[in-house]
Structure formats: structure tokens, C-alpha cells
A and B are shown apart, each in its own frame.
Chain A
Amino acid sequence: MSEIEAGRGAVAPVKSQEGGEGLLAALALAGGAGVLAAFFGAPAVRFWANALLWFCFYATVGLGALFLAALEHLVGARWSVPLRRVAERAGSLVLLAVLLGLPLLFSLSVLYPWTRPEARHEPFVSGKLDGWLNVPFFTARALATFALWGLAFAVLAGLSLRQDRTADPRLTLRLRRFAPAFMALYAVTVTLLAFDWLGGLEPAWYSDIFGVYVFAGSFLAGLSATALGTVRLLSRGRLPGVERDHLYNLGGFLFAFLVFWSYIGFAQYLLMWYANLPEEVFYYADRAQGGWPWVMAALALLHFVLPFFALLPRDRKGDPTLLRRAAALVLVAHLLDLYGLIFPSLSKTVVFSWPEAAFALAFGSLFCLWMRRAQSLGADMPVGDPFLRDGLEFRL
């Protein structure tokens, strides 16, 4: 019980004494200046494509982390209770995603070909314009998803934070009742994120499995952010009682979903490559020209081969150093994945120069800064959760 008492002692807002936040803020500001320069100096498509990339990154990481937290409530898992707060904190990224997504709604005519008049004459697009792909409906869908993300975060994190203070076990029951609703909400909104924001760049293209593909990437990214936060808190002694066994489960999840992501991604590619239908295969033809094959090969290497073999041995999955490196690698690979989903649809050759670098600097630093500031959200573990003790006693 003493560990839990110690955990509750940490509820008092400990002013983060760690250095580096000033540096991160300075980097974000410098990057922000570059972003501003890109707004005036770079083609509008480049600017908004980068904004879309980081919007999708924040949204997928945040949603993936919320999914992990809700998964615990859904299946009644005990082992992940001590780590749930880390996931809930990472879930706050959906708020940042919404902030970034709102201005993106004004860029639709720049990014999306279906907003242009000539889309009326595109064979595979014209039929979708009235029912689905039009600016009012798109905006309505986007606003609805933003509201649902905010609601999901408010419920999942809000009730859990309230439980820190009240230690009321009924809140756990309420969260368990909310979890299935969150799953439905998550499935629909991630599919909308995939089909609307990413698939909309190639409105003629059609793939049933694309939503699942984006889901797999999202869960991996949320899991990686959670693993990074866990290892970081652990190394500072802020998660007393969390053992290698908990890390092993995170590593095992990461390993399993790396394979899942690759399976879905390759399945989509194999079927389209085999069938060779013009309305499907052009998506991959776009990615087989210019320098894009190298990007795709790098994606396969960084998003599958390297982390797969790194996490393959049993002992490695619970190794904090390795888990931290693998999780960071998967996050970077997830960025590359989104880059490969967005940019080849807009450009025949690989584009990467100062606008991309400025965006990466600004929003990458902002990401790190946000994740650090989120560490002051509530106690480091859900100290009011009746299953915390069970969770801490979890052994493989």
C-alpha cells in the first residue's frame, strides 16, 4: 500500500525541474518562424500538405493512446492500470490536433482535387461529389469528429483524473461502460480521418482496407508515445512498482502491431498490384516514380524490418533502453508513413527542403514540449483506481 500512498503524494503539482524545456520552446519558436516564412514564401500546397502531415500525426498519436486507455476498460485489463495515466496524458494530443485541424478546414481548395470544378468530369470522382465529397459535408464531418475526439478525451481522462481525488470505484464502472462507445466512435472517426483527410487527396482511389491501415499506424504511434513516456518516468523513479513485466507487455504489443501494420499494408499493396485495375493501381504507380520507391523502401525498413528484429528476442521486449529506442523509431517511421501517404499524391518527385524542415522543427519540438507539459496532468499513476495494486503486482 505504501507505493500507492507515495503515488498519491505526487498528486501535488511538482514543478518540472527538468532542463530542456526552454531549449525546446526556443526550437519551436525558430521552427515557427520558418513555418511563417513557408506560409508566405513556399507554394500553398507545400505549406498545407505539411500542416496536414502534422495534424494527422498529432491526431493518430493522441487517438492511439486513448485507444490503449479505453482498451484497458473494455477488456478489464489489470496489468496496464499503472501505465494508463501515461496513455491518457499522451491522449491529450487530440486537443492539439483539433487546434491544428480547424485552420486546415480553410485549405480544402488548395489540397483536395475534388473541390475543383474539373472534378465534375473525372470518371471515378464525379459520382462521389454530391453525396460525400463536398465542402459543407466535409466540414460538418470534420467538426463532428473534432467534437467527438474532445469528448472522448474529456471522458476518458476527466473521469480518471477525478478518481485520483475521490478514489470512487464507481468511476471505473462508468469508464467501463463508456469504453465500448469509445471503440465505435474511434472506429468511425479514424476511418473518416483516413478516407476524408488522407484518401481525399486521391479522390478517384478506392480501398476498403485503408481505414484499418491508418488505424494500425495510429495504435502503433499511440503505443510508442505511451512506451516513451513510461520509460522516461521510470528512469526518473516516478513509477514505483512498475517492473520489467509491464514493459514487456508494452514491447509485446508494439511487436504484434508492427506485424499487423505490415500485414495490412502489404495485403493492400498485393491485391492492387495483382488486379492491376486502373482506378486502384495508379495509387501505387504514383509511389513507384520519382524518388518515391526509396521512401517506400525506407518505410518498410524503419516501420517493419528494423523494429521487428530489434523486438524479436524475448528479453529485449522488456529492456527499457531498447524499448525507448524502438518506440522512438516507430514514431519517426509513423511520420514517414504519413509523409508517404500525403506527398506522393501531390508531387511526382520527392520533396523535402526548408519548408518541411521548418515544419518538422516547429511541430516536432511542440510535440516534445506538449508531451513534457502533459506530465503534470494528475498523478503519475491512476492512484484512485481500485485495480492499481493488482496492476502493480502483475508478473509474467
Chain B
Amino acid sequence: MSDKAFAVLGLFDSPDGLLAAIPRVRALGLGRLEAYTPYPVHGVEKALGLKKSPLAGMVLVMGLVGALSAFLFQFWATGIDYPIVVGGKSPLAWQAYIPIVFEVMVLFATFTAGLGMLLLLNRLPFYGHPVLSSRAIAAVTRDRFALAVEALGEELDVQAARRALEEAGASPVEVVPLPAPDGPYSPNALLRGLLAVAASCLAAGLLTYWGIKLMPVLPPMVHMEDQPRVNAQAPSAFFADGHAMRLPAPGTVARGFLPYGPASREEAAALPNPLPRNAAVLALGKARYGTFCAVCHGPLGDGVPTLTAAYGAKPANLQSRTVREYPDGVIFDVITRGKNAMPSYAWALTEEERWAVVHYVRVLERAQNARDEDLK
């Protein structure tokens, strides 16, 4: 305990007494005025002349900073640095950024509000506000209302403050001494020590990381890094073409995939459809046709697509005379290797499925071009 005073504290019996006393004491300008009450009393902040908290402005600025940084980050990352087209939208489509902009704005704003209130405005963390060690504090938490004249850094005129509070109707009035400076084992010192340890851990970690990254004097685990192999897609001085990755040797066949036989469409025309024409095969053909073909050629095969044709090229009409007169093998070949704008569908359909689709295309054609005997 030092002999200097932190504050002079006077107790009042009612909130009205407190409110009446504040302007009288405040007019003397003895020090910083602070009221301690068991519950929020309307009008105290006005009487004390408290300034509006700067927190709102801080939250606004940080919210806008959050929104702007989220917008710019997405703009740069998905629009400029590595443009990604998603769902046919422009990489610069601002609409998609808005949810993230909103969330980051809220994140920045709430963190600013919470941490700013606790750390900046209320100066946490600290243990034990001096007023908490006063004799009056027990009554203040129950049913009394205290007004404190607190020292503004310099000396506090204890006698004048005591007189002012007594004249304003406070009783009893007490002097709250300034707490002694922290000893080496005080909670505050302990907390500072812990913070220092945490900060030095963080600094050491960062220093190690960047030190090793930028100045590889002692690379850790050197044997794993120095392996006699090349990385995928890396250049290599060993091979004549300069690429580390090699092409398969000519004639390589992947397991389970026999090479496609016919060399030309004419050759393919001679292929017979190996599948029987039964319900199971047609069901398979219908399912695969519905999945892969109908989006462009239409559910009836008439070239009227189920999706709006956004690709320019007009899909072939499978009901046309040309297609109807194709041998099965040609249709099989077109599915396998593609034609004009149509890509190969060999990746999607096995050979068996392709033949089943050929059967189903024949069914579609027959359905639209029924002969007289079909109607009997």
C-alpha cells in the first residue's frame, strides 16, 4: 500500500441522491468522476458527461475493412491469379463473392467489438481494480450507490474531494489508496510472464520456419529431400526431350482395355451388333441413352435437345434418313470415336453398353417411322 490516493469514494443511499450529487462535484473539476452502482441507473452516463464510446466507429471501420479485404481476396484469387469458371459464370462474377464478403465483414466486426471492448477500452487483462479493495464495495454490490473522484494521473486533492462529497450528501466518505506496485510474484507479474513466454514461443516458431525456408543452412531430414528420383511434371536433363515424365512405349495396352479394332468408319460399318435384341439389352440401352445421349439428341432422337443448346453446333437428328440408313457398326463407331462436334463417349460407355445404345437408337427410329404392318 502506498500513501498516495487512487480515489475518494462517497456512498449515497439512493440513485436520486447520486444523480443530484454528480453535477455539484463535477463542477469542482477535482478529478475523473466515476459512479459505482448495484444496477444500471438511467441518466448516470449523461450526468457524468461520459463521451460516446469509440467502439461503434472502430466496428464500422473494421467491418468495412473485412468486407473490402474479402472482396479483393476473392477477386484476386478466383478472378485474376487463377481464374476459375464455375457453372458457366465469369470468374469475376461479383454475386458469388457476396456471402463470403458478408461473413468476413461480420467476423471482423464482432472480433473488433469483443476484443476492442475487452482489451482496448477496458484495458483487460488486469486483476483487482483498486475500488474492489475499498470498504464500501460490499455495500455497492448490495443497495448503495457510490461516487468516486479518481486521480487523473497526478496528485489528488484528497481533502477537497472529501469535502465536496460530504457537502453533496455522501456518507461515509473513504479514501481508496493507490495499490502498491506489483511485486515479482503478483498475479499481474505472473500474467505478464505467461504472455512473454507465449510471445517468445510464437517468435521462435516463426523465426525457425522462415529461417530454414529462406536460409537453408541446415536443412532438416536431408535424406528424404535428396532422393534420386524426379518429381512429376518436373524438367529433367536426363532424357532427350527434357521431360521427367515418360510416354508409354508404343503398343502399350492398359489392363482390361483391348485396342479398338476398326481403323476407319468404312471398316467399322461391317461390324455386326453382337448383342441380342431383348428386353434387358433395350433397358440398358434406354438407360444409357437417357443419361448420355438425350441431353443433345433429345429423348426422341430427333435432335431437339432437353438442354438449351448453348454450344452453337446443332446436334444430329437421329431420325434423319442418313442416320436411319447407317449400318449398326457406323453408329457404334460414332459413339466410340465421335463425329464433328460430338466427342468420343468411349470413356463413359463400355463396348457392350454402346451396342445396347445402338439397339435402342434403332427402336427410337422405328417408333417414329412405323410401317403399315406395325400398326396391325
Contacts and interface: CB of A to CB of B under 8 A. Distances in A.
A266 interface: yes
Interface residues of B, number: 12
B308 interface: yes
The DSSP consensus for interface residues of chain A is helix
Contact of B99 (A270, A273, A314): A270
A395 B42 contact: yes
Interface string B80-102: 00000001110000011011000
Contacts of B99: 270
B98 A276 contact: no
Interface string A291-328: 00000000000000000000011110000000000000
Nearest to A263: B102
B152 interface: no
B334 interface: no
A273 B56 contact: no
Contact of B87 (A276, A278, A395): A276
Given A266-B98, A269-B95, A395-B42, A274 B87 contact: yes
A273 B87 CA distance: 10
B287 interface: no
B60 interface: yes
Contacts of A273: 95
B87 A312 contact: no
Contacts of A270: 95-96, 98-99
A319 to B, nearest CB: 14
A276 B42 contact: no
A312 B88 CA distance: 37
Contacts, number: 20
Contacts of B98: 266, 270
Contact of B60 (A266, A312, A315): A312
B67 to A, nearest CB: 13
Interface string A383-396: 00000000000010
A309 to B, nearest CB: 10
A287 to B, nearest CB: 14
Contact of B88 (A266, A276, A278): A276
Contacts of B42: 395
Nearest to A312: B60
Nearest to A313: B56
Interface string A254-290: 0000000000001001100110101000000000000
Interface string A147-169: 00000000000000000000000
Interface string B47-64: 000001000100010000
Interface string B192-222: 0000000000000000000000000000000
A6 to B, nearest CB: 24
Interface in B13-66: 42, 52, 56, 60
A273 B93 CA distance: 10
Nearest to B93: A273
A244 to B, nearest CB: 12
A301 to B, nearest CB: 16
Nearest to A270: B95
Nearest to B86: A274
B238 to A, nearest CB: 48
A315 B96 CA distance: 34
B54 to A, nearest CB: 12
B20 to A, nearest CB: 18
A45 to B, nearest CB: 28
Given A313-B56, A395-B42, A278 B96 contact: no
A278 B309 CA distance: 12
Contacts of A274: 87, 89, 95-96
Contacts of B87: 274, 276
Interface string A89-123: 00000000000000000000000000000000000
A167 B369 CA distance: 85
Interface in B102-154: none
A307 B96 CA distance: 24
B95 to A, nearest CB: 5
Contact of B308 (A266, A269, A278, A312): A278
Contact of B56 (A266, A278, A314, A395): A314
Nearest to B60: A312
A312 B99 CA distance: 21
Given A266-B98, A278-B308, 13 more contacts: A270-B95, A270-B99, A273-B95, A274-B87, A274-B89, A274-B96, A276-B87, A276-B88, A312-B60, A313-B56, A314-B52, A314-B56, A395-B42
20 contacts: A266-B98, A269-B95, A270-B95, A270-B96, A270-B98, A270-B99, A273-B95, A274-B87, A274-B89, A274-B95, A274-B96, A276-B87, A276-B88, A278-B308, A312-B60, A313-B56, A314-B52, A314-B56, A315-B52, A395-B42
Closest 9 CB pairs of A and B: A273-B95, A395-B42, A270-B95, A314-B56, A278-B308, A276-B87, A274-B87, A266-B98, A270-B98
